[in-house]
Amino acid sequence: MDKIYLNKMEFYGYHGVLPEETRLGQRFIVDLELELDLAKAGQTDDLNETVNYAEVYEMTKEILEGRPYQLIEKVAELLAASLLAAFSKIEYCTVKLIKPDPPIKGHYRSVAVEIRRGRK
C-alpha cells in the first residue's frame, strides 16, 4: 500500500486531565500516515485521485485546536475516524499524537499515543 505522510504538525490545544492543561493549554505534535493507492494519481497528475494535504491539515487543526478532551487517546481516535470518513480513498490511517511538555515530574522527551485504524 502506498503512503502519504504529514509529519510534525504543531498545534496548541487544551486537552488533558489536569486543570492547568485545560486552563493554560499546551503544544501537541501530530504525525499522520495515510495508506491508499496512489498509482492513478501518479499516472494522471490529478488531485482528485489522491488526498489533498491542505484539507487533511485543516481537519487536523480543527480537531486539535477545537473542543478539549481529557485523553489524547480520544483525540487520536476522533482524528482517525474523521479522516477515514472525509476521505474515501484512505484505507488505513496511523495517528501519532505527541504531548511534548505534559505537566509530569521526571525526565523524558515526550509522551505519545499511536493508533492505526482502517475501514471495516
For residue 100, the model assigns a pLDDT of 94
pLDDT (mean) for 97-113: 90
- Kindly state the percentage of the chain with pLDDT values over 70: 100
pLDDT at 7 over 80: yes
Q: Give residue limits of the domains in the chain.
A: 2-118
For residue 8, the model assigns a pLDDT of 98
For the chain, count helices (H), then strands (E).
4, 4
For residue 43, the model assigns a pLDDT of 98
- Residue 105 annotated among the catalytic residues of the structure: no
Given the C-alpha cell 492513478, which residue does it identify? 40
Amino acid at 44: T
Residue 54: exposed, middle, or buried by beta-carbon count in 10 A (0-12, 13-18, 19+)? exposed
Q: Which fold has domain 2-118?
A: GTP Cyclohydrolase I, domain 2 (3.30.1130)
Choose, from 3, 89, 96, 99, the residue flagged as catalytic: 99
Q: Which tens digits make up the pLDDT trace of 58-76?
A: 999 999 999 999 999 999 9
